[in-house]
């Protein structure tokens, strides 16, 4: 449906039909009728264009509600005082996962309240607004220079354990 986020599936003469001798991988990567699951989360806008919202694996399951990290990151990046942002899951006893935004500020750091109000004003659903916002100087990097969300999840999990003690 237009405006709703869903998974992008493809099929055609230039799409692979399967992986060699990898039945389990094929079962995950292809539908029964031969469509390839790209892993991209997309929506169709009012003009009929496909907009990529994020990656299927970069979702947070917040009490059954799926939060696409990239969607929230893009909203936060529109704030003048946000240089960069990474959204990760953090463990929660009640919801299973909650969201944490790690923000690198541009100049004077905005307040947590200011960022949450900014997201509300942009019309983002309440359950997508980060439960916690942490300001950070730089992101940990993977070996190929990408943001290590795995390390950020460790950072917030350790902070939460320290708080519980």
CATH number of the domain that 11 lies in? 2.30.38.10
Q: Which domain holds residue 143?
A: 59-164
Give the model's pLDDT for residue 163.
63
Q: How many domains does the chain have?
A: 2
Distance CA 78, CA 85 (A): 11
Give the model's pLDDT for residue 43.
86
Band of pLDDT at residue 85, cut at 50, 70 and 90: very high
More confidently predicted of 134 and 43: 134
Q: Is 15 in contact with 54 (CB distance < 8 Å)? A: no
pLDDT digits (tens, 9 = 90+) for 87-125: 999 999 999 999 999 999 999 999 999 999 999 999 999
């Amino acid at each position: 449906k237009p405006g709703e986020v869903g998974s992008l599936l493809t099929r055609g003469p230039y799409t692979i039909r399967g992986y060699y001798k990898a039945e389990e991988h094929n079962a995950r990567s292809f539908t029964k009728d031969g469509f390839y699951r790209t892993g991209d989360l997309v929506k169709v806008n009012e003009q009929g264009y496909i907009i990529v919202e994020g990656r299927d694996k970069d979702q947070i399951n917040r009490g059954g509600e799926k939060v696409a990290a990239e969607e929230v990151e893009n909203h936060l990046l529109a704030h003048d005082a946000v240089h960069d942002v990474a959204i990760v899951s953090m463990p929660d006893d009640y919801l299973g996962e909650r969201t944490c935004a790690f923000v690198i500020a541009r100049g004077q750091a905005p307040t947590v309240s200011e960022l949450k109000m900014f997201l509300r004003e942009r019309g983002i659903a309440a359950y997508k607004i980060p439960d916690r916002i942490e300001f950070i100087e730089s992101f940990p990097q993977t070996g190929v220079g990408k943001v290590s969300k795995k390390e950020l999840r460790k950072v917030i999990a350790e902070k939460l354990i320290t708080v519980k003690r």
